[in-house]
Amino acid sequence: MDEFAVEMRDVVKIFPTPEGGEVAAVNHVTLQIKHGEFFSMLGPSGCGKTTSLRMMAGFEWPTEGEIFIDGAAMGRTPPYLRPINTVFQSYALFQHMSVFQNVAFGLEMEHVPKKEIEHRVGAALEMVKLSGMSRRKPKQLSGGQQQRVALARALIKRPAVLLLDEPLGALDLKLRKEMQLELKALQKEVGITFVYVTHDQEEALTMSDRIAVMSQGKVLQIGTPVEIYERPNCRFVADFIGETNFLKGKVKKIERGLLTVELPDFSQEIKGMGHENLAVGQDVSVSIRPEKIRLEDDNNTTAVEEDKDNILRGKVLATAYVGSDTRIIVDIGHDIHMVVWEQNNISTLDPQAYYVADDKVLVHLPFENTLVLPEGVA
Amino acid sequence: MSEKKPALWLRIFSFLVYLYFYLPILILIVFSFNTQKLNVRWEGFTLKWYEVLFNDSNVMLATRNTLIIAFISTLVATVIGTMAALALQRYRFPGYTLIESILYIPVIIPEVVMGISLLAFFALIKFQLGLVTITISHIAFNIPFVTLVVRARLHGFDKSIEEASMDLGANELTTFWRVTLPTIMPGVLSGAMLAFTLSLDDYVITYFSAGPGATTLPLRVFSMVRFAVTPEVNALSTLWVLTVLVILLISQVVQKRQT
């Protein structure tokens, strides 16, 4: 067994455009997916995630580069000879066949004996909780049930890798959350490598062992959900995953990972954590997430003395109480509004305990959570 | 869906339209059982004309020819027409729009023109006119009709079911037989049904591509009614209407079962 379940080595896919031009849907992508991993490819539509998946499945061939599955170069191997199965966004169930026939199809193609097919289909339907539905047609099932049939149909082949192309996209929010957990549990149970394509960042964070964030045909960052959220490597990733606030600046000083950034709008300096390949004088974006900002009363300067550089003055514009926390929009001048989430960890009915519009506040950006990111793509 | 009844005048109007459609056919059927030789007055019930019909060797030969031509031309046109529909659905190539539009020309141009052109063509390549040339002509005008019907069915065809099939281990051929064809079957059957009925009653094109001795039912009927419409023709037409009705019914049942 090779080290990696799937490997993309410098893969390029070029499509002709209707206007007669060319577009690189996937642009020099290199990534390795480990055995048994739940790996997500995350990005906005048109970022190349689905094209990458389709190349792994064999529906498209790379223009350049090579894809390896279990260490074997795939070249132009057709889909039916790859140890990979796919769950399609549209489910792609065979409408003229029953649930049983759909799930049995893959085994029939392998000429598995009839008795064994019956046994295995029964077990697969039980796994996805569809026992007793085997004689129905796909049209007689709900969206969630159809999704499970698609899953059973792909998993029954015991593939080395299961590809999932936005499989929960068509389900409503509640069912979707349920299926996320179920899918994750199922993956642990069967121990198969899952490659999951989605544009929903929350879904990717919830389910994945590792995530590749893609944009415009390129992989921007690969890492665990924590790494991607807490240490994005560029402005795009910080912006796409979760919510964040940005400030424009210029690098002034670098000392062992701690950067001093000049904010020209505020004629002020701010300290933050940054990537080692940043240089003095470089234009950067300073990113800080709403839940990591601390608000202090205007007159309470002692509380933040030890980190006094990273304080901006502002005025509360609006607040929204959402139960677990309060969302506060603070105007810090120069048409810049910062979003702050304050956790409501004290239970009180006193409205004075919360910020209200027009309160003057100090916006404290703790330096260890203030990220200095390159402007463009890393 | 509301179960509201239409207004009275709408019901009367619809009844009249249907009467206009079917009264002539009804009269034709009734007079096929008339003892009188002229289609003028009802005199009494008889099955004599059916007997005459079944003993008319010319009519029987024409019937046999018509059915053979209809079966063969339907089969060939359905296969080629379906292939064309699939190709137009699946591929984009230089000249696509041109190919697509000239495919439907036989549907649009007058039948006479098509008949003459076929005749001229057979004459040019010195092909003996007969049942073979009629069959070839019928195939030619049936292909675009089949393609039209099948393409309508293919509209909205989810290509990912073919990908799913290959993903599950079926090669291209197996995928076509097990997944693609069953999915588009209702369209293919409708196309075939249309082709069959068009072939059954074609007169103009058949007239031009038929040689001496090669007679089909429409040609035979026209020669029989040259002087007068006899009850024998009525009987023949009655059976004909019945046949088409049965085909129609079968196709309706097939369509219903599919959905």
User: What DSSP string describes B64-88?
Assistant: HHHHHHHHHHHHHHHHHHHHHHHHH
Q: Which residue of B has its CA nearest to A165?
A: B160
* pLDDT of amino acid B150: 92
Q: Does domain A236-374 have CATH number 2.40.50.100?
A: yes
Q: Is B164 on the interface with A (CB under 8 A)?
A: yes
3-state secondary structure (DSSP) of residue B137: helix
pLDDT level of residue A303 (50, 70, 90 thresholds): low
Nearest CA to CA, how far is A182 from chain B (Å)? 23
Using a CB-CB distance cutoff of 8 angstroms, which residues of chain B are in contact with residue A78?
Answer: 166, 171
CB contact under 8 A, A88 and B164: yes
- pLDDT tens-digit profile of A273-298? 887 778 888 888 899 999 999 888 77
Q: What is the pLDDT of residue A306?
A: 64
Write down the mean pLDDT value for chain A. 88
| Per-residue model confidence as pLDDT tens digits over A96-122 | 999 999 999 999 999 999 999 999 999
Residues of chain B found within 8 Å of residue A154, distances taken between Cβ atoms: 167-168
A150/A141 Cα distance (integer angstroms): 12
Does the distance separating the beta carbons of A79 and B163 come in below 8 Å?
yes
> Rounded distance, CA A123 to CA A152, Å?
9
* pLDDT for res B258: 61
B/e letters for A141-174, b = 16+ CB within 10 Å, e = fewer, are beebbbbbbbbbbbbbbebbbbbbbbbbeebeee
Q: What is the CA radius of gyration of chain B?
A: 23
Residues of A with Cβ-Cβ distance to B161 under 8 angstroms: 92-95
User: How many CB atoms neighbour CB A246 within 10 A?
Assistant: 16
CB of B213 within 8 Å of a chain A CB? The answer is no
Interface residue B244 vs chain A (CB under 8 A): no
Tell me the pLDDT of chain B (259 aa) as tens digits.
557 788 899 999 999 999 999 998 898 888 888 888 777 788 888 888 888 888 888 889 999 999 999 999 999 999 999 999 999 988 888 888 898 888 888 888 899 999 999 999 999 998 888 899 999 999 999 999 999 999 988 888 888 999 999 999 999 999 999 999 999 988 898 899 889 989 988 999 999 998 777 889 899 888 888 877 788 888 988 998 888 888 888 878 877 776 5
Searching chain A, which residue's CA lies closest to the CA of residue B168?
A106
Supply the pLDDT for residue B57.
Answer: 87
| pLDDT at residue A307 tops 70 | no
Residue A105 contacts B where some CB pair is shorter than 8 Å: yes
Q: Which long-range contacts (CB under 8 A, 24 or more apart) does A226-229 make?
A: A229/A205
Listed residue (B178, B160, B161, B167) closest to A106, CA to CA: B167
**Residue A190: burial class (beta carbons within 10 Å; 0-12, 13-18, 19+):** middle
Of A86, A94, A95, the CB nearest to B167: A86
Q: Is B100 helix (H, G, I), strand (E, B) or coil?
A: helix
CATH T-level topology, domain A4-235: Rossmann fold (3.40.50)
Report the pLDDT value the prediction gives residue B181, as an integer from 0 to 100: 93
A204-218 per-residue burial string, b: 16 or more CB within 10 A, e: under 16: bbebbbbbbbbbebb
Q: Confidence band (pLDDT; 50, 70, 90) for A378?
A: very low
Q: What is the DSSP letter of B178?
A: I
The per-residue pLDDT for B2 is 56
H helices within B125-216, ranges in order?
131-154, 160-167, 172-175, 181-200, 204-209
Q: CB-based contact (8 Å) between A147 and chain B?
A: no
- Those of residues 177-206 in B touching chain A at CB distance below 8 A are 178-179, 182-183, 185
Question: What residues does CATH 2.40.50.100 cover in chain A?
Answer: 236-374
| Domains of chain B with CATH codes | 57-217 (1.10.3720.10)
**Cα(A143)–Cα(A164) distance, integer angstroms:** 16
For residues A57-66, average pLDDT = 93
Pick from B168, B182, B185: CB nearest A106 = B168
Residues 263-302 of A with CB under 8 A from B: none
A15 vs B: CB within 8 A? no
Global ipTM: 0.82
How would you label A302-323 residue by residue, b for 16+ Cβ within 10 Å and e otherwise? eebeebeebbbebebeebeeee
Answer with the residue of higher pLDDT: B39 or A209: A209
Measured between alpha carbons, how far is A289 from A299 in angstroms, rounded to an integer? 24
Q: What is the dihedral of CA A207, A212, A213, A216, to 10 degrees?
A: -140
Burial state string for A47-78 with b = 16 or more CB within 10 A and e = fewer than 16: bbbbbbbbbbbbbbebeebebbbbeeebeeee
> Average pLDDT, stretch A190-214?
92
* SS3 category, A330: strand
* pTM (predicted TM-score): 0.81
Over the stretch A317-350, which tens digit does the pLDDT of each residue have?
888 888 888 899 998 888 889 999 988 877 777 7
Residues of chain A with CATH 3.40.50.300: 4-235
